[in-house]
Amino acid sequence: MSELASPTTAALDADVIVVGAGMSGLYALKVLRERGLRVIVLEKAPAVGGTWYWNRYPGARCDVPSLEYSFGFDPELEQEWVWTEHFATQAEIERYLNHVADRYDLRRDIRLSCGITAATWDADTNTWVFDTETGEQLRSRFAIMATGGLSVPHRPDWPGIDSFAGTIVQTSLWPEEGVELEGKRIGIVGTGSSGVQSIPELAKVAEHLTVFQRTAMFTWPSQNRPLTHEEQAAVKATYRDLREKQYHSYAAAAGTSGAVIFAVPTDDRKIKESTPEEREAALAEHGFSASRIWADTATDLDANAMAVELFNEMVRRTVDDPEVADSLCPKDYPIGCKRPVLDAGYFETFNRDNVTLVDLRKDAVVEVTPTGIRTEHGFAEIDVLVLATGFDAMTGALTRIDVRGEGDHLMRDDWADGPRTYLGISVDGYPNMFMCVGPSSPAVLANYPPQIELQVGWIRDFLLHLGEHGITRAAVEPAAQEAWCEHVADVAKDTMFMADSCNSWYIGANIEGKPRVFLAYAGGLVAYMERCNDVAAHGYEGYALS
């Protein structure tokens, strides 16, 4: 791909530097290298896998079915890989991604334990310069930021937290060698997906588990199960059809289970038109899922409140202690505002003798001491403190490093009022830089592997187009970016994501000072790719190419 390397071939370490060796970084390396581009991947972790390397806490597993949460680019790969459960564990997905790295000989172009501290646009040569944590400097024509949407852990800044003398561990930085948990007094903070998955597992091994909950969570039984040979063979016999469905669906999902399809009602009936008897029958038939079947709960807050009541009725029927049940009932925000969570025996865990719930809305944290957590009304002695407290999502990875574009602008300053992107892929003022599953793309609202294949495929085709036409600079036109940002906000505005009572990481509400901006594209994968493909078909309109 000599056109891409000109005119500074000698000084370039690669045509493309990809930051991150998670799912999108691995796929980018594969497809760009096979089209003749020289690619280097820089990865902070000592291993490949991204999210699936870092999040190895007890109970960690994917909430999208394994046969769907996998790459479809190579029919041989999808036939040879054997999944063992409907929802795969972290360990199995990590093994899968390592298999992908080996099968396509990717490791030779990946530098591990090599995070970057800065990426700087050099306008004189139309290149990006990367400073690494190892003190190296590398230069490429193009930058692909495959840095992940949920890769920067968020930690509470409670008084005394650094004085804690026991083991303190973040779910998203769980050590490879594991944590001694057996027979310990464990405290866990946070009841999002990570907390909800960990809590039943921690309760099984702890002498005592204290759960510190700030906001009660909507979580539905995952119905996980081992995959039978017959079930897997049936999917593999028609895998191409499944992939086609994924690529042409709202959430890159073909099936009927998993967290990403929760926004899709399974029923034509409206809860507002239902009788108490019909709602009771729904509870008897669907249990917790009775709260998510109705056609009118996604956009009508009154209907949504009725669905919340069905959910909370199930909590009360499941949890023995009425006071604990009451604390576990989500009350002040709608279903669909936050990422749906799938669990395995979450509410039942609070019936165990060795589990205590501390409702931080009634009993706030005062301080962490060397031996535990003091709240307004009590003190919990703790040996191991687990923080399942989430992430600086979608933008954190790029605003924490010095990404310096044209005119010496820093991305974190440009994004002080929220991320501004074109198609969730490019940013005005940062030429030749592309993001994978970045802010204002479907990202967390769609199944990752198929979405990555489509989006990275689009970036690959763009890079080949630039090479074929001898173009060394691709910059976003400000008006195109403004129009995309307006469209993204418009699509989200009438959804539960933006309800006044909704405070989720989708809108940055979990990070103090972060602007309240919806961080993904809610129009669905099909509409998104149509727009991207339209841009390409019109000669990459919205980009100034030179």
Task: Write out the residues near ligand NAP by the rule CB under 6 A.
Answer: 61-63, 150, 156, 189-195, 197, 214-215, 339, 360, 388-391, 444, 505, 510
Q: Is residue 153 within 8 Å of residue 173, measured between CB atoms? A: yes
Structure tokens at 439: 């802010």
- Region of 291 please: left (phi>0), alpha (psi -120 to 50) or beta: alpha
Q: How far is the CB of 81 from ligand NAP (least distance, A)?
A: 19
- Stated as kind and residue range, the H or E segment containing 358 is strand 355-359
Which residues are 209's β-sheet partners?
Answer: 186, 355
Q: How far is the CB of 456 from ligand NAP (least distance, A)?
A: 20
Cβ proximity to ligand NAP: between 199 and 307 the closer is 199
Let me know how long the chain is.
546
Structure tokens at 527: 């509409």
Cβ proximity to ligand NAP: between 388 and 452 the closer is 388
Cβ proximity to ligand NAP: between 60 and 480 the closer is 60
Q: Is residue 219 within 8 Å of residue 416, measured between CB atoms? A: no
Cβ proximity to ligand NAP: between 298 and 368 the closer is 368
Cβ proximity to ligand NAP: between 214 and 412 the closer is 214
Q: How far is the CB of 390 from ligand NAP (least distance, A)?
A: 3
CB hemisphere CA count around 164 (13 angstroms): 24
| Alpha-carbon distance values, 82 to 229, 256, 414 (Å) | 9, 21, 45
Single-letter amino acid code for the residue at 305: A
Q: How far is the CB of 444 from ligand NAP (least distance, A)?
A: 5
Cβ proximity to ligand NAP: between 333 and 434 the closer is 333
Local structure of residue 389 (DSSP, 8 states): -
Cβ proximity to ligand NAP: between 279 and 292 the closer is 292
Instruction: Map residue 378 onto helix, strand or coil.
Output: strand
Tokens 């044209």 belong to residue: 406
Q: How far is the CB of 33 from ligand NAP (least distance, A)?
A: 29
Cβ proximity to ligand NAP: between 54 and 434 the closer is 54
Nearest residue (beta carbon) to ligand NAP: 192
Instruction: Map residue 519 onto helix, strand or coil.
Output: coil
Q: How far is the CB of 353 from ligand NAP (least distance, A)?
A: 24
Q: How far is the CB of 87 from ligand NAP (least distance, A)?
A: 8
The whole-angstrom separation of Cα 222 and Cα 343 is 5
Q: How far is the CB of 505 from ligand NAP (least distance, A)?
A: 5
Backbone angles phi, psi at 366, to 5 degrees: -100, -50
Q: How far is the CB of 395 from ligand NAP (least distance, A)?
A: 14
Of the candidates 496, 497, 490, the residue with the CA atom closest to the CA atom of residue 516:
497
Single-letter amino acid code for the residue at 69: Y
Which residues are 490's β-sheet partners?
Answer: none
Q: Is residue 356 within 8 Å of residue 211, measured between CB atoms? A: yes
Q: How far is the CB of 392 from ligand NAP (least distance, A)?
A: 10
Cα torsion 162, 165, 167, 171 to 10°: value is: -20
Q: How far is the CB of 517 from ligand NAP (least distance, A)?
A: 16
Strands 372-375 and 116-122: what pairing?
Answer: unpaired
Q: How far is the CB of 339 from ligand NAP (least distance, A)?
A: 3
Q: How far is the CB of 57 from ligand NAP (least distance, A)?
A: 9
Respond yes or no on whether the N-terminal peptide bond of residue 7 is cis (omega within 30° of 0): yes
Single-letter amino acid code for the residue at 244: E
Cβ proximity to ligand NAP: between 196 and 283 the closer is 196
Respond yes or no on whether the N-terminal peptide bond of residue 515 is cis (omega within 30° of 0): no
Cβ proximity to ligand NAP: between 192 and 467 the closer is 192
Cβ proximity to ligand NAP: between 65 and 467 the closer is 65
Burial code (b: 16+ CB inside 10 Å, e: under 16) for 469-499 equals: eebbbbbbeeebbeebbebbeebbeebbbbb
Cβ proximity to ligand NAP: between 127 and 349 the closer is 349
The whole-angstrom separation of Cα 389 and Cα 387 is 5
Q: How far is the CB of 89 from ligand NAP (least distance, A)?
A: 10
Cβ proximity to ligand NAP: between 45 and 138 the closer is 45
The whole-angstrom separation of Cα 229 and Cα 119 is 47
Cβ proximity to ligand NAP: between 205 and 360 the closer is 360
Structure tokens at 141: 């024509």
Spatial neighbors of 338 by CB under 8 A, at least 6 apart, are 192, 217, 218, 502, 504, 505, 506
Q: Is residue 242 within 8 Å of residue 235, measured between CB atoms? A: yes
